[in-house]
Protein backbone atom coordinates (compact mmCIF):
# COMPACT_ATOMS: atom_id res chain seq x y z
CA UNK A 1 0.00 0.00 0.00
CA UNK A 2 1.25 3.48 -0.92
CA UNK A 3 2.06 5.58 2.12
CA UNK A 4 0.42 9.01 2.18
CA UNK A 5 3.05 11.67 2.33
CA UNK A 6 2.52 14.69 4.61
CA UNK A 7 3.02 17.14 1.71
CA UNK A 8 0.05 15.69 -0.17
CA UNK A 9 -2.59 18.10 1.31
CA UNK A 10 -0.38 21.11 0.52
CA UNK A 11 0.06 19.97 -3.09
CA UNK A 12 -3.68 19.43 -3.33
CA UNK A 13 -4.30 22.96 -2.04
CA UNK A 14 -1.88 24.43 -4.59
CA UNK A 15 -3.53 22.29 -7.29
CA UNK A 16 -6.95 23.70 -6.39
CA UNK A 17 -5.64 27.25 -6.23
CA UNK A 18 -4.11 26.76 -9.66
CA UNK A 19 -7.39 25.35 -10.94
CA UNK A 20 -9.31 28.45 -9.85
CA UNK A 21 -6.78 31.05 -10.99
CA UNK A 22 -6.24 29.44 -14.40
CA UNK A 23 -9.99 28.88 -14.94
CA UNK A 24 -10.60 32.61 -14.45
CA UNK A 25 -7.53 34.25 -16.01
CA UNK A 26 -6.32 31.98 -18.81
CA UNK A 27 -9.30 32.15 -21.23
CA UNK A 28 -9.24 35.95 -21.68
CA UNK A 29 -5.43 36.08 -21.90
CA UNK A 30 -5.36 33.19 -24.36
CA UNK A 31 -8.02 34.77 -26.59
CA UNK A 32 -6.14 38.09 -26.64
CA UNK A 33 -2.50 36.95 -26.93
CA UNK A 34 -3.06 33.73 -28.85
CA UNK A 35 -5.87 34.63 -31.27
CA UNK A 36 -7.16 38.23 -31.28
CA UNK A 37 -3.77 39.96 -31.72
CA UNK A 38 -2.14 37.42 -34.10
CA UNK A 39 -5.26 37.13 -36.31
CA UNK A 40 -5.77 40.89 -36.40
CA UNK A 41 -9.21 40.93 -34.71
CA UNK A 42 -7.86 43.58 -32.35
CA UNK A 43 -4.74 45.72 -32.81
CA UNK A 44 -1.99 44.70 -30.38
CA UNK A 45 -1.46 47.34 -27.69
CA UNK A 46 1.26 49.95 -28.30
CA UNK A 47 4.57 48.92 -26.74
CA UNK A 48 4.61 51.73 -24.15
CA UNK A 49 1.16 50.75 -22.88
CA UNK A 50 1.82 47.02 -22.45
CA UNK A 51 5.28 47.72 -20.99
CA UNK A 52 3.72 50.04 -18.38
CA UNK A 53 1.02 47.48 -17.48
CA UNK A 54 3.40 44.52 -17.16
CA UNK A 55 6.03 46.60 -15.37
CA UNK A 56 3.70 47.40 -12.48
CA UNK A 57 4.44 45.42 -9.33
CA UNK A 58 0.80 44.30 -8.92
CA UNK A 59 0.83 42.78 -12.42
CA UNK A 60 4.13 41.02 -11.62
CA UNK A 61 2.76 39.50 -8.40
CA UNK A 62 -0.54 38.41 -9.99
CA UNK A 63 1.24 36.86 -12.98
CA UNK A 64 3.73 35.13 -10.70
CA UNK A 65 0.83 33.60 -8.76
CA UNK A 66 -0.83 32.52 -12.00
CA UNK A 67 2.37 30.95 -13.34
CA UNK A 68 3.48 29.11 -10.20
CA UNK A 69 0.00 27.82 -9.30
CA UNK A 70 -0.65 26.95 -12.96
CA UNK A 71 2.55 24.90 -13.18
CA UNK A 72 1.73 23.03 -9.94
CA UNK A 73 -1.80 22.47 -11.23
CA UNK A 74 -0.37 20.94 -14.41
CA UNK A 75 2.11 18.78 -12.49
CA UNK A 76 -0.53 17.36 -10.17
CA UNK A 77 -3.09 16.66 -12.85
CA UNK A 78 -0.64 15.31 -15.38
CA UNK A 79 0.84 13.03 -12.74
CA UNK A 80 -2.55 11.44 -12.20
CA UNK A 81 -3.27 11.35 -15.94
CA UNK A 82 -0.17 9.22 -16.48
CA UNK A 83 -0.95 7.29 -13.32
CA UNK A 84 -4.53 6.34 -14.19
CA UNK A 85 -4.67 6.85 -17.94
CA UNK A 86 -1.59 4.85 -18.86
CA UNK A 87 -1.73 2.60 -15.78
CA UNK A 88 1.78 3.50 -14.66
CA UNK A 89 1.13 3.17 -10.93
CA UNK A 90 4.40 1.36 -10.40
CA UNK A 91 6.36 4.37 -11.70
CA UNK A 92 4.69 6.81 -9.30
CA UNK A 93 7.94 8.01 -7.70
CA UNK A 94 9.62 8.74 -11.03
CA UNK A 95 6.50 10.35 -12.50
CA UNK A 96 6.08 12.57 -9.42
CA UNK A 97 9.72 13.61 -9.56
CA UNK A 98 9.42 14.46 -13.25
CA UNK A 99 6.15 16.42 -12.92
CA UNK A 100 6.87 18.37 -9.75
CA UNK A 101 10.49 18.85 -10.84
CA UNK A 102 9.39 20.45 -14.12
CA UNK A 103 6.87 22.60 -12.22
CA UNK A 104 9.68 23.75 -9.92
CA UNK A 105 11.94 24.62 -12.86
CA UNK A 106 9.08 26.50 -14.52
CA UNK A 107 8.37 28.39 -11.30
CA UNK A 108 12.02 29.42 -10.88
CA UNK A 109 11.97 30.63 -14.51
CA UNK A 110 8.78 32.62 -13.79
CA UNK A 111 10.36 34.21 -10.68
CA UNK A 112 13.43 35.15 -12.73
CA UNK A 113 11.39 36.77 -15.53
CA UNK A 114 8.74 38.49 -13.42
CA UNK A 115 10.86 39.69 -10.53
CA UNK A 116 14.39 40.05 -11.91
CA UNK A 117 13.98 41.37 -15.47
CA UNK A 118 12.46 44.48 -17.00
Partner 1 sequence: MSVRQTATAVRGRYQPRISLWWWLTKPSYLLFVLRELSSVFIAWFIVFLLLFVRAVYQGEGQYERFLDFAANPFVVFVNLVALAFVLLHTVTWFVLTPQALPLHLRGRRVPGGLIIASQYVGWLVVSAFVFWLVVGW
Which residues in this chain contact partner 1 in the complex, by CB under 8 A?
1-2, 16, 19-20, 22-35, 37-39, 42, 44-47, 49-51, 53-55, 63, 66-67, 70-71, 73-74, 76-78, 80-81, 85-87, 89, 106, 109-110, 113-114, 117-118
Torsion-angle region of 43 (φ positive above 0: left; ψ -120 to 50: alpha; else: beta)? beta
Q: How far is the CB of 107 from partner 1 (least distance, A)?
A: 10
Nearest residue (CB) to partner 1, 7 versus 29: 29
Name the helix (H) or strand (E) containing 5: none
Nearest residue (CB) to partner 1, 70 versus 95: 70
Q: How far is the CB of 17 from partner 1 (least distance, A)?
A: 12
Nearest residue (CB) to partner 1, 7 versus 50: 50
Burial profile 41-54: b = 16 or more Cβ within 10 angstroms, e = fewer:
eeeeeeeeeeeeee
Q: How far is the CB of 118 from partner 1 (least distance, A)?
A: 3
Distance CA 98, CA 83 (A): 13
Q: How far is the CB of 30 from partner 1 (least distance, A)?
A: 5
DSSP string for 25-92: HHHHHHIIIIIITTTTSSPPPPHHHHHHHHHSHHHHHHHHHHHHHHHHHHHHHHHHIIIIITT-GGGH
Nearest residue (CB) to partner 1, 14 versus 74: 74
Amino acid sequence: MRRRRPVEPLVWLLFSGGGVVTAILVPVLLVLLGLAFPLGWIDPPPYEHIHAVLGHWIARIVLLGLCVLGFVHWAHRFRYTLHEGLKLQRLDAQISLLCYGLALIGSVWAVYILLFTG
